[in-house]
Amino acid sequence: MSTLTIDGQSVEIGNEQNLLELVRKAGINLPTFCYHSDLSIYGACRMCMVEDQKLGLVAACSTPPTPGMVVRTNTDRTRKIRRMILELLLANHDRDCTTCERSGRCKLQTLAQEQGIDRARFGVREVVVPVDAASPSVIRNPNKCILCGDCVRMCREIQGVGVLDFAFRGSQTVVGPAFGKPLTEVDCINCGQCIAVCPTAALTVKREIEQVWKALNDPKKTVIVQVAPAVRIALTEEFGGKPGQISTGKMAAGLRRLGFAKVFDTVFTADLTAVEETNEFVGRLTSGERLPQFTSCCPGWVKFCEQFYPELLPNLSSCKSPQQMLGSIAKRFYASELGVAPEDLFVVSVMPCAAKKFEAQRPEFTYDGTREVDAVISTTELAQFFKQDGIIFDQLEEEAFDQPFGLVSGAGVIFGVSGGVTEAAVRTAAGMLGVNPGQVEYNELRGPEGVRSARVKLGDLEVRLAIVSGLANTVKLIEAIKAGTESYDLIEVMACPSGCIGGGGQPYPNDREARRLREAGIFRVDRISQFRNPLDNLAVQKVYEQWLDGHGSHTCHDALHTNYSPRRRIDGKEIRVTLAPLEKPIEVSVCVGTGCYLRGAYDVLAKFHELSERDDVSGYVNLKATFCLEKCDQGVNIKVGDRIISGVSSANAEEVFDREVAAQLVK
Amino acid sequence: MNERSFPKINQIIDIWERKVSNLIPILQEVQKEYRYLPEEVLTYVATALGMPLATVFGVATFYAQFSLEPKGKYIVKICDGTACHVRGSEVVDYIIRKKLDLSEGQDTTDDLSFTVERVACIGCCGLAPVITINDQEVYGQLTTEAAEIVVEDLLKRNAAGEVH
């Protein structure tokens, strides 16, 4: 058995990859900014410096443990180093703590206090750079960035996106998107996982509280609210509670106190989604078309798919997400029942998510000229709402949700964890097919891993299910399916690791331990639910009869379904290839975005370049390479004048050129 | 801008086997073609290598050898190492910028003909103060008059359309 000594204690070396994990195992809380067990080791912050008898000063996070080491974590030198690092970080940090939304939960502030930094020796930050507030979901304030790189690694390693990286050098170093662009002009999917790992307020959720107050104070508006499943087991963390505590009743009571006319449960439409999506899935299984079916309730995943896998868009479930289903039904049907015009019904949703803010603003989700969901606030914003209104959360008496969107099943609740949508679909399918009587829970679908798969028997039918969270995991799974090494019928994708309970709008710390406890909370809510199967939800049945003209109707399709289309990843300028010297040239662009590039766009471009020098057209063609004509699933795409022509290849390039370009010149 | 440069980019990327690990030589050769790294070309390189644009941007901004601003046809490097500095490189710098009609903070002329750069040490302190043109012509022991003559000569060569 190999051991080493930490502060006089003998500690056994297990599977730990680095000294830091061992130090923490020994019960010593070594401070860090840049260390996260799920991310690669960066070793930048130097807060975890320890003294080894032989090696001297080393960073614990990037030192492998070896038997016989004698390590001390708290010496005069390490204390001095930690204090100096903090002082230097503070000197370069926008220290407006009193007005900072992370105040009280900021790692920099906490560590500075713990290490006893009582004054800022090195002056104040003089440079002020602009804040990027363009995104509907994430606000980036570089003035508060301490360059730990956690967001960079999260975005690239866990989410497989990589919109953030370090740029420039030395004292000029910044973390941000390429060319200093706003997040709206790069391929950010709005998941907010960068917020979950940011130790300061350099990355925060965009707030919408003021819009909601304005609506609440507007006598013309009837303001209703819906709350997502993952909010009820995280909200108390903002009031000093532990992750996983169930606060459904107090939350509903508090929302009513705030002045919402009706307090509804998004779990209701999660039940509805489960029914619709299972219907769709059973239909696809029967016809064998558009399989595997991918879930579409996660707006981060949907945008990712639109940008990176447009060819899979037909495989996405056409169901709107639970948030949008509630908004849609409320505006289409419930408003007239109340006698309110759709534009005077203001729908607010409370979500654990940053991307839901983006989803609610999508043009697809409008009805009669108004948004289906008018404002989205995060779990942390809801807590602030209560505080602003002087509500003492602990003292609230529990109340229930309002009808007709208040009766729910446990299957809708577990939408909040990774695997929950699948389990809800399996429960629903079992009910529809009349199989697996008495079985409610499907433990084979649960677990902490980022990628899980299971085969579930539904009578004679065996369905192959995959559950994935984190988009880098999703990329791996999709590539395996494309390579033919894996095959599934239904795939649930959640952008955030562990699902919505770890969403970008959840309280801080939003780490692995908090997520584990919140997951347990969600399953507890499921277990104590009266109904466990969405088919048993009488209120859902009533909505089908009263408003939706039954299952599979045209109304149903119109209100509850949508479709998505390929989306441009980057706002890039065109690259000029030839410049026609003559007047009135023909503008020809060839798309060289990722989708078209992989389909051989460059060969088409080279061919066009050659053809544009042919005698009959020479001097009349302005040839350009462009980034994305948003028809990525039909590439290679070209644009002649205002017309987009799809399906061009090097084989038909000459034919297309003659027909579309050369023929115009003859005219 | 040089319209004919783009078709060459793919050759460069292919020579370097489309490998992410060859990003720096790829950027060096692309910069040779365009005399700087245009945003849209970096976007294309990132697409071709299948890597995040933010990372390509990070590399391009980390190294001083890369420029994201267009550079002139003639690059005038003015040495400002210790020896050149004490022997009057600042005056030389002032004269050259004035002759080229560069305003404060501007390094490249509006017609993209000339770029003036201050560099640390060229390595021939015995010739201080020294300047180089396109890393090929070296002018040493410059006086203000000599600097003026060098620039006037350059302007003439540029007007005559000499391609360097």
pLDDT digits (tens, 9 = 90+) for B33-73: 888 998 988 999 999 999 999 999 999 999 988 999 888 88
Please tell me whether residues B85 and B127 are part of one structural domain: yes
pLDDT at A516 over 90: yes
Which residue from B3, B10, B53 is facing A570, i.e. has the nearest CB?
A: B53
**B84, B128: one domain:** yes
Distances (CA, A) of A109 to A94, A96, A112, A260, A645: 12, 11, 5, 36, 56
Q: Check residue A1 and give its pLDDT.
A: 67
Closest residue in B to A602 (Cα–Cα): B10
Domain boundary among B13, B42, B62: B62
Amino acid at A107: K
Q: Is residue B141 part of a domain?
A: yes
The answer to whether residue A607 scores a pLDDT higher than 70 is: yes
- Rounded to 5 degrees, what are φ and ψ at A9? -90, 140
Contact present, A498 and A418 (Cβ < 8 Å): yes
The tokens for A378 are 């995060």
Residue in A423, A415, A459, A457 with CA at minimum distance from that of residue A442: A423
Reported as a pLDDT band with limits 50, 70 and 90, residue A382 is very high
Domains of chain A: 3-74 (3.10.20.740), 121-204 (3.30.70.20), 209-560 (3.40.50.1780), 575-666 (3.40.30.10)
Mutation target for B interface from A158, A172, A576, A627: give the one with most B CBs within 10 A.
A576
Please, which residues bridge with residue A490 across strands? A293, A465
Does A113 score more than 70 pLDDT? yes
Other Cβ atoms closer than 10 A to A124 = 11
- Tell me whether residues B48 and A597 touch, CB distance under 8 A: yes
Average pLDDT, chain A: 94
Q: Which residues contact A62 (CB under 8 A, 6 or more apart)?
A: A18, A41, A43
Check residue B4 and give its pLDDT.
53
Encode pLDDT of A411-467 as tens digits: 999 999 999 999 999 999 999 999 998 899 999 999 999 999 999 999 999 999 999
- A286 SS3 class: helix
Nearest CA in chain A to B41: A575
Do the strands A293-294 and B74-79 form a parallel or antiparallel pair, or are they unpaired? unpaired
Q: Which of A419, A190, A150 is nearest to A301 (CA)?
A: A190
Q: What is the largest CA-CA distance in chain B?
A: 53
Answer yes or no: do B103 and B144 share one domain.
yes
- Does residue A119 register a pLDDT over 60? yes
Residue numbers in A near B10 (CB within 8 A) = 602, 606
Q: Percent of chain A, pLDDT > 70?
A: 99
Determine, for residues B51 and A577 on separate chains, whether the beta-carbon distance falls below 8 Å: no
* Residue B45 CB-density burial (10 A; 0-12 exposed, 13-18 middle, 19+ buried): buried
Q: Cβ of B54 and A593 within 8 Å? A: no
Rounded to 10°, the helix B23-34/B6-15 angle is 160
Structure tokens at A533: 């199967």
| Burial class of residue A436 in the structure, from the number of CB atoms within 10 Å of its CB (0-12 exposed, 13-18 middle, 19+ buried) | middle
d(CA A188, CA A190): 6
Of the partner residues B1, B6, B58, the one whose CB lies closest to the CB of residue A625: B6
pLDDT average, residue stretch A369-375? 96
Positions of A marked catalytic: 277, 280, 297, 317, 356, 359, 364, 500
Phi, psi of B130 (to 5 degrees): -125, 150
Q: How far apart are CA A564 and CA A465, in angstroms?
A: 23
Is the per-residue pLDDT at A142 higher than 50?
yes
DSSP secondary structure code for residue B164 in this structure: -
Cβ-count burial A331-358 (b if 16+ within 10 Å, e if not): bbbbbeeeebebbbbbbbbbbbbbbbbb
SS (H, E, C) A204-259: EECCCHHHHHHHHCCCCCEEEEEECHHHCCCHHHHHCCCCCCCCHHHHHHHHHHHC
Helix (H) or strand (E) holding A174, with range, is: strand A174-176
DSSP string covering A475-531: HHHHHHHHHTS---SEEEEESSTTSGGG-TTSPSP-SHHHHHHHHHHHHHHHHT-SB
Q: What is the pLDDT of residue A620?
A: 86
Q: Does A183 touch chain B (CB under 8 A)?
A: no
Chain A residue numbers with beta carbons less than 8 Å from the beta carbon of B11 are none
Q: What is the pLDDT of residues A290-328, one digit of tens each?
A: 999 999 999 999 999 999 999 999 999 999 999 999 999
What pLDDT, on a 0 to 100 scale, did the predictor assign at position B1? 43
Locate the chain B residue with the closest alpha carbon to A580: B3
Interface of B with A (CB under 8 A): 1, 3, 6-7, 10, 38-44, 47-48, 50-58, 61-62
Which chain A positions have a beta carbon within 8 Å of B51's beta carbon? Answer: 162
pLDDT of residue A578: 77
Of B3, B53, B54, the CB nearest to A578: B3
Q: How confident is the model at residue A103 (pLDDT cuts 50, 70, 90)?
A: very high
Distance from CA of B123 to the nearest CA of A (A): 25
The span from the CA of A94 to the CA of A104, in Å, is: 16
The pLDDT of residue A37: 87
Same domain, B85 and B154: yes
The total number of structural domains in chain B stands at: 2
Closest CB to A179 among B10, B47, B57: B57
Q: What are phi and psi of A274, to 5 degrees?
A: -60, -45
3-state secondary structure of A50: strand
Same domain flag for B120 and B57 = no
Q: Is residue B39 one of the residues assigned to a domain? A: yes
Q: Return the residue matching tokens 């720096």.
A: B24
Indicate if the pLDDT at residue A383 is higher than 70.
yes
CA of residue A524 relative to chain centroid, distance:
24
Do the Cβ atoms of A306 and A350 come closer than 8 Å? no
**Residues facing A205 on adjacent strands:** A138
pTM above 0.80?
Answer: yes
Side-chain half-sphere CA neighbours of B69 within 13 A: 14
Q: Are A365 and A327 in contact (CB under 8 A)?
A: yes
Query: What residue of A is the nearest CA neighbor of B4?
Result: A577
Residues of A in contact with B7 (CB under 8 A): 577, 605-606, 609
d(CA B60, CA B56): 6
- Indicate yes or no: CB of B44 within 8 angstroms of CB of A165: no
Residues B138 and B82 in one domain: yes
Facing residues of B74 across strands? B114
Q: Which of B23, B27, B43 to mutate to test the interface with A (most CBs of A within 10 A)?
A: B43
Which residue is closest to A604 within chain B, CA to CA? B7
Among A90, A85, A99, A153, residue whose Cα is nearest residue A124:
A90
CA B60 to centroid of chain Cα atoms: 14
DSSP state of B125: G
Whether pLDDT at A407 is above 90? yes
Nearest CA in chain A to B58: A167
Do residues B151 and B89 share a domain? Answer: yes
* Position B92 in a domain: yes
By the 10 Å C-beta count (0-12 exposed, 13-18 middle, 19+ buried), A204 is classed as: buried
Same-domain pairing of B81 and B107: yes
Please indicate, yes or no, whether residues B45 and B116 belong to a single structural domain of this protein.
Answer: no
Asked whether residue B152 is domain-assigned, the answer is yes
Residue B39 with chain A: CB contacts under 8 Å = 179, 572-573
The whole-number pLDDT of residue A619 equals 83
Whole-Å CA distances, A268 to A227, A264, A425, A543: 10, 8, 14, 11
* Residue closest to A170 by CA, chosen among A92, A97, A222, A224: A92
Per-residue pLDDT reduced to its tens digit, B62-86: 998 899 988 888 999 999 999 999 9
**Which residues of chain A does B52 touch, with a Cβ-Cβ cutoff of 8 Å?**
156, 161-163, 165, 178
Look at residue B89 and tell me if it is in a domain.
Answer: yes
For residues A637-650, give the mean pLDDT.
90
Over the stretch A65-84, which tens digit does the pLDDT of each residue have? 999 999 999 999 999 999 99
Q: Are residues B47 and B113 in the same domain?
A: no
State whether residue A563 is helix, strand or coil. Answer: coil
| Minimum Cα–Cα distance from A171: chain B residue | B62
Do residue B107 and residue B150 come from a single domain?
yes
Tell whether B83 and B103 lie within a shared domain. Answer: yes
Kindly give, in sequence order, each residue whose CB lies less than 8 Å from that of residue A301, ignoring residues fewer than 6 positions away.
Answer: A189, A294, A295, A471, A474, A493, A494, A495
Per mean pLDDT, which range of A144-153, A571-580, B124-133 is the poorest? A571-580
List of chain A residues whose C-beta atoms are within 8 Å of the C-beta of residue B5: none
Could you count the other beta carbons within 10 Å of the beta carbon of residue A40? Answer: 10
Residues 239-278 of A with CB under 8 A from B: none
The Cα–Cα gap between A652 and A661 comes to 13
Residue B67: inside a domain? no
CB contact, 8 Å: A609 with chain B? Answer: yes
Residue B17 within a domain:
yes
Residues B100, A373: Cα–Cα separation, whole Å: 59
Candidate from B6, B47, B57 with C-beta closest to A178: B57
Give CA–CA dist A321/A318, Å, rounded: 9
Contact A627 B43 (CB under 8 A): yes
Question: Which residue, of B13, B39, B62, is where some domain finishes?
Answer: B62
Cβ B79 vs Cβ A204: under 8 Å: no
| Domain range for B152 | 74-159
pLDDT at B2 over 70: no
Q: Which positions in chain A touch B1 (Cβ < 8 Å)?
A: 576
Nearest Cα residue to A625 out of B60, B8, B13? B8
Residue ending a domain, among B22, B37, B62, is B62
Mean pLDDT of A491-516: 96
Task: Provide the CATH number for the domain around residue B119.
Answer: 3.40.30.10
Percent of chain A at pLDDT above 90?
84
Nearest-angstrom CA–CA distance, A173 and B127: 36
What is the model's pLDDT at position A380? 96
Chain A residue numbers with beta carbons less than 8 Å from the beta carbon of B57 are 165, 167, 178-179
Cβ–Cβ below 8 Å for A169 and B61: yes
Say which range, A464-473, A475-484, A631-640, has the weakest mean pLDDT. A631-640
Q: How would residue A667 be classed by pLDDT, with cut points 50, 70 and 90?
A: low
Q: How many CB atoms lie within 10 A of CB B51?
A: 16
- On the question of a cis peptide bond just before residue A129, with omega within 30 degrees of 0, the verdict is no
Whether B47 sits inside 8 A of A592 (CB atoms) is yes
Question: Three-class SS of residue A622?
Answer: strand
The closest CB to that of A164, out of B1, B7, B54, belongs to B54
- Chain B nearest CA to A496, separation (Å): 20
Residue A248 is predicted with a pLDDT of: 97
Q: What is the mean pLDDT of the segment spanning A156-165?
A: 97
